[in-house]
């Protein structure tokens, strides 16, 4: 029961031994513990500051990336627009060239048709002249005294003549 109800001597020696342990701890342990806590606190605050800086840099990089992506999209749209315009210009040019060629071919065909028509007219005129001369020579060979006989003879010659 002596331990449950302490004596003044025991309390004195416990106080002395606690003070000695406290002084030893203060001299040798507290300073290193406090220094390591301060170093740890400094390390944590530096890490937090570096993390904030890294987050700010990351935000800047994200902004720059978004700007670059937006610029790339604008360039892509510009390139696509230019390509579309070039395609349309090429198509229009091809259509114009085809129309010019078609017009030229049509004009050449018309010219050729006109030339053939003139040749046919000249040929028909030549045949008419030849037929007229032939008929006239036959009429002159036959000396007809009567107008009726002359008309009948001319009609007969016309029927006999093949106009093909």
Mean pLDDT of 8-23: 89
* DSSP symbol at 27: I
Portion of the chain with pLDDT greater than 90, in percent: 56
Mean pLDDT of 10-38: 88
- How high is the pLDDT of residue 164? 46
Least confident of 59-73, 77-91, 128-142: 128-142
Candidates 98, 24, 133, 137; CA nearest to 16 is 24
Q: Which tokens belong to 7?
A: 């004596």
Per domain, the residue ranges of the chain are 8-160
Between 40 and 144, the more confident residue is 40
144 near 153, Cβ under 8 Å? Answer: yes
- Given pLDDT bands bounded at 50, 70 and 90, which one contains residue 83? very high
């Amino acid at each position: 029961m002596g331990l449950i109800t302490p004596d003044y001597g025991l309390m004195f020696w416990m106080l002395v031994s606690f003070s000695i342990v406290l002084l030893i701890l203060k001299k040798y342990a507290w300073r290193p513990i406090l220094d390591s806590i301060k170093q740890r606190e400094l390390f944590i605050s530096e890490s937090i500051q570096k993390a904030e800086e890294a987050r700010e840099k990351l935000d800047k990089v994200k902004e720059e990336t978004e700007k670059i992506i937006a610029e790339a999209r604008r360039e892509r749209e510009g390139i696509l627009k230019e390509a579309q315009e070039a395609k349309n210009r090429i198509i229009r040019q091809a259509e114009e060239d085809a129309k010019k060629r078609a017009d030229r071919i049509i004009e050449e065909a018309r010219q050729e048709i006109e030339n053939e028509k003139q040749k046919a007219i000249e040929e028909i005129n030549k045949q008419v002249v030849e037929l007229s001369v032939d008929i006239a020579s036959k009429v002159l060979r036959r000396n007809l005294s009567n107008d009726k006989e002359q008309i009948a003879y001319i009609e007969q010659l016309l029927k006999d003549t093949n106009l093909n």
